[in-house]
Amino acid sequence: METLPDLLPLSDDELAALRARLEGSEDDVSRRRRLLHGRIDILRAERTARLKAQVAAGSFQTHSPTSLERPLYAGTGEISADADLEPLPDLASMDDDALWAEIRRLETEEDDISLNRRVLHAQIDIVSAERSKRSRAGEHVDARDLGSILGGGQ
- DSSP reduced 3-state for 80: coil
pLDDT of 53 strictly over 80: yes
Residue 63, CA distances (Å) to 45, 58, 60, 82, 96 in order: 20, 15, 10, 36, 12
Q: Kindly give the interhelix angle for 96-137 and 12-57, rounded to the nearest 10 degrees.
A: 160
Per-residue pLDDT, 140: 64
Q: What is the pTM of this model?
A: 0.73
The helix or strand, by DSSP H or E, that contains position 104, with its residue range, turns out to be helix 96-137
Q: How sure is the predictor about 19, in pLDDT bands with cuts at 50, 70 and 90?
A: very high
Question: First and final CA of the chain: distance in angstroms?
Answer: 25
Residue at 73: amino acid letter: Y
Give Cα 98 distance to the centre of its chain: 23
- Identify the CA nearest to 114 among candidates 79, 146, 81: 79
